[in-house]
Amino acid sequence: MNDYLRDAWKYYEYGRLYNNNLTPNQYTMVNTNNEFFIGNQWIHMPDNEAMRRLAKPTFNIIKRVTSLFVASLTSSNTTISFEPLSYQNDGEAASFATAEVRNLLEKFKMDYRIRDALFDGAITGDYAAHFFWNPEARPYGGAFGEYKGEIEMELIDGINVMFGNPNCRDVEKQPYILIVGRDTVENLKREYDYWKPLKPKEGPDKDIIRPDAETYNFTGIGGKTEIHGDDDKTGKALFVYLYTKVWKDEQYINPKTGLVEIRKVQTVHVTKATRHCNIFEDVDTGLSRYPLAWGNWQKQRNQYHGRALVTEIIPNQIFINQMMAMVFRHLQTQAFPTKIYNADLIPNISNEVGTAIGVRNLQPGQQIGEVISTIPAANMSAQIIQAIDLCMAYTKECLGATDAQMGSVRPDNTSALMVLQNASEVPLENTRAGLHEWVEDIGAILLDMMGTYYGKRPIVREKVIDEPILGADGHQLIDPMTGKPASTKVSRRVVEEFDFSVFKHLWLNISVDVGATTYYSEIAMVQTLDNLRRDGTLNIIEYLERMPDKLITRKQELIESLKKQANLSTSSETLPSSGDGQRPSPPRGGGGTVPTVGEVIPPAGEKRKGGDEVGHVIGSELDAAKKIAQLPTSMQAKYNDLPKTAQRALIK
């Protein structure tokens, strides 16, 4: 036990020393970046009379640019999908893996976690997600039985993660990984009691865990400020997780010979320790991957820490603030005229507006200008403001924060604006690629943990099922072409049981799916849908199903109502057979076959597969009356007098 405790804190001191030896000092850089981002940009200034008189304005371009970039990177929804090497055997397992990982991401509120992680990366250079197994949690609140255990996730400050090989950023190549944190003494003692049955009897008592004040290496004022309590509920203690990989022998059945053989495998072991004792030590997690996903805002050569966005803006931010402070000081001291007066004639004078000024012993014929006058205000060079404007403009230009991206351009020409917006996203492509790599690592970790801990348990997932089509009387309709009950395929959430242990020996490809949801991509999407609808390519139901939800209120109710109307129209054309067994012709002008349930009905005037023309139906091209109503008033008045060829050309 003492060996694990000694190793954990020895590695902790190694990590602190490495961070302090970096240039700039990693702890100083992270804290400075954090203060500048939140607006504390005049900290650590000399406390003298000149500085106390100086105005301290803050024009926080750091926060504006950082928030813009993070919003741009998270404007698209990100999901994880798994694909098998061969759908012949592993296709069903891949679908279950995809469904459960998406359930977990929803539970983690991953969209918000990604946003928080990117802010961490932009400010500190690093972002990290730590995953662990909670054996007492009940999946779905215990709704599907007495199953126990859930995967949990937490975001970790990059400064609190220490790699065994800090010159390599690859997590899986590390000899060990250390994660530093603080927790209340009460929680640490409770966890100590949970693991006590597995500890040797001669181990230390839990009362050795005491509050401490080791907060100096944590980020920001909040990380360094705690309640100064000496009781277990408020007092906190420093702890570390020490993850290592250990080789061990594993039995397996050789598929070729059918014999039990031994092979070497690596599993992750973990120790959690405070300064004075281990909470648990050298526990075999059964995992093959470290449960840590690591990402950088901008990768740096030969070190695992990344380069923060804020770091490169701070010198420009300081210059802008200093120059604006000098401008304000000039306005305070030089922008208003200074009075000069004869103190023998005017004993007291006031700067208040409208106050009378008393003059004594004014000589006859003496001009008032000889008694009191003003010195004109000094003009400030216009180059100062120009330099400030240029500094702001060049800073944003070098960072790639264009006017189109920041919303400073009027969207008159949406097509040109979309091109500008796409071009402005180019500087963020490397950062976006790093984010997708981070999300893929999360998918690999979750797959490893599911295969290790889940076993056989229920899962909620989307499944396509056949659902009966009901008529107005509530009975299922009959497909007139097949004579069988009519049904349609719909996607529903179902509960199924699955053995997740198959993932331990199954290879699945991981992909990150990204969907464009920005403002201008929605404009383009709606314009494309309008064109397809106008051309008759999409019917009204297909058009509404593809329309963004926020553009049409109660959209699903409208779609269901239109589907019912379509079903009623179809069922009214399903007539009973005549006495001779022949089905009567449908009540359509050209005769022909009755459309089957689910058939895509073509626009008016076109022919179906059977060869008959159809009239106006739900989802067909806009009818002539509506098109005539869209014509100019003068043309509508002359429409009936036009030749048929001209009329058809106008409403085509």
> Average pLDDT for residues 172-181, to the nearest whole number?
97
Return the higher-pLDDT residue of 378 and 635: 378
Residue 414: pLDDT over 60 = no
- Residues 80 and 510: their CA atoms lie apart, in Å, by 7
Q: How many angstroms from the chain centroid is the CA of residue 123? A: 16
- Which range among 71-85, 133-147, 510-524 has the greatest average pLDDT? 133-147
> What local confidence, expressed as pLDDT, does residue 385 receive?
92
> What local confidence, expressed as pLDDT, does residue 572 receive?
53
> What local confidence, expressed as pLDDT, does residue 603 receive?
42
Q: CA triplet 42, 45, 48: central angle to 5 degrees?
A: 125
- Residues 414 and 378: their CA atoms lie apart, in Å, by 47
Token readout for 388 is: 């400030």
* pLDDT tens-digit series, residues 431-443: 999 999 999 999 9
> Average pLDDT for residues 490-496, to the nearest whole number?
87
The H or E element spanning position 360 is none
User: Other C-beta atoms within 10 Å of 36: how many?
Assistant: 23
Rounded to a whole number of angstroms, the CA Rg of the chain reads 37
Which residues, 6+ apart, have CB-to-CB distance to 294 below 8 Å? 126, 127, 128, 161, 169, 171, 304, 438, 441
Whether 295 and 73 have beta carbons less than 8 Å apart is answered as no
The H or E element spanning position 236 is strand 236-253
CA-based end-to-end distance of the chain: 85
Which alpha helices (DSSP H) does 375-413 contain, by range? 382-399, 403-406
372 beta partners: 341
- Residues 108 and 317: their CA atoms lie apart, in Å, by 36
- Residues 348 and 650: their CA atoms lie apart, in Å, by 88
Return the higher-pLDDT residue of 228 and 125: 125
Token readout for 77 is: 């929804």
> Average pLDDT for residues 328-357, to the nearest whole number?
83
The H or E element spanning position 572 is helix 555-572
Task: Pick the closest to residue 157 from 180, 184, 183 (CA basis).
Answer: 180
pTM metric for this prediction: 0.76
Task: Pick the closest to residue 230 from 251, 216, 212 (CA basis).
Answer: 212
Residue 422: pLDDT over 90 = no
In 401-527, beta strands by DSSP E = 456-468, 487-499, 508-515
Task: Pick the closest to residue 424 from 445, 409, 439, 440 (CA basis).
Answer: 409
- Residues 268 and 273: their CA atoms lie apart, in Å, by 17
> What local confidence, expressed as pLDDT, does residue 454 receive?
95
* pLDDT tens-digit series, residues 304-317: 999 999 999 999 99
The H or E element spanning position 9 is helix 2-21
> Average pLDDT for residues 328-336, to the nearest whole number?
86
User: Other C-beta atoms within 10 Å of 321: how many?
Assistant: 20
DSSP 577-591: P-TTSPPPPPSSTT-
Token readout for 355 is: 């106050």
Q: What is the DSSP letter of 140?
A: G
Whether 98 and 512 have beta carbons less than 8 Å apart is answered as no
What three-state secondary structure class fits 79?
A: strand
Q: At what angle do helices 110-124 and 309-334 cross, to 10 degrees?
A: 70
- Residues 84 and 91: their CA atoms lie apart, in Å, by 6
Sign of CA dihedral 521, 522, 523, 526: positive
Q: How far is CA 78 from CA 32, 259, 437, 513, in A?
A: 31, 44, 12, 6
The H or E element spanning position 184 is strand 176-184
> What local confidence, expressed as pLDDT, does residue 571 receive?
54
> What local confidence, expressed as pLDDT, does residue 4 receive?
78
Task: Pick the closest to residue 480 from 613, 614, 604, 593 (CA basis).
Answer: 593
Q: CA triplet 433, 439, 445: central angle to 5 degrees?
A: 140
